[in-house]
Amino acid sequence: MEKHKHLILTIRKAMQEIINLLDVIIWPLTVLLGLLFFRKHIGKVISSLGSIKAGAQGFEMNFIEDKLKEATKLIGIDSTGITAKDGSSIIPKDGGSIIPKDSKITPKKSHAETPYQALLELQDTINQKLKNIAAQKGITTNSASNFALTTHLAEHNIINNQTARQLKTLIELNNMGLNSPKITYNQVIQMKTLFNNISL
């Protein structure tokens, strides 16, 4: 009888040890299994976040640069500047103006003092251009957002699907820039160049 009680106590102790061990490892094991099970989905989410840089101020996620690269690839601007449809550069090698000196076209002067203000100007410019195109084609739009205007123009076959895709990518990029505290003038200039290279 004594051996039987001792055996039961030993089994209880062993069971308690197993339960204690499970209490300790259950959460890490659950997380590991969850990561393993959802690895494809997690990979997609992480890749959509953009690049992550570790610096003196901690970790920084750079959404803008990755979206700029995507937009540049889609719209067709290489690192040397605007590329014409035939592949030749339309920015003079000497760095001069694209608009000839004797031209009657005068570029709109920016009044922006910060990159944020420059993005607001770009947003307004895109909106005005889309509304002008719609008005020229006799289409009245109640849409105020650039995204909705682009969709509306594409649905009426005023702009093709490729142009609509380019515009929507640029609009997303512009909105990301408006929500980014670290947007730079250089990035805004790249966005303006992208807009100028879209065939409207």
The tens-digit pLDDT sequence of the chain (200 residues) is: 778 888 888 999 999 999 988 888 888 888 888 888 888 877 766 655 555 666 665 555 566 777 888 888 888 764 444 443 344 333 333 434 343 344 343 445 678 889 999 999 999 999 999 999 988 988 887 777 898 899 989 998 999 999 999 999 999 999 988 888 778 888 888 899 889 888 87
Specify whether 12 is located in the same domain as 56.
Answer: no
Residues 67 and 116 placed together within one structural domain of the fold:
yes
- Output the pLDDT for position 16: 92
What are 175's two structure tokens?
């909105």
- Which ranges of the chain does DSSP label H, i.e. alpha helix? 2-37, 39-49, 63-75, 115-136, 146-155, 161-178, 185-197
pLDDT at residue number 54: 61
Determine the Cα–Cα distance for residues 153 and 131; give it in Å rounded to an integer: 9
Contact 152, 144 (CB under 8 A): no
Domain carrying residue 181: 50-101+110-197
> Following CA atoms 55, 59, 63, 64 in sequence, which dihedral angle do they give, to the nearest 10 degrees?
-30
Q: What is the pLDDT of residue 21?
A: 87
CB 177 within 8 A of CB 183: yes
Together in a domain, 133 and 192:
yes
Phi, psi dihedrals of residue 81, rounded to the nearest 5°: 130, -160
Clarify whether residues 85 and 127 are in a common domain: yes
Q: How many residues does the chain have?
A: 200
The residues with which 78 forms a beta bridge, in sequence order, are 81
Domain count, the chain: 2
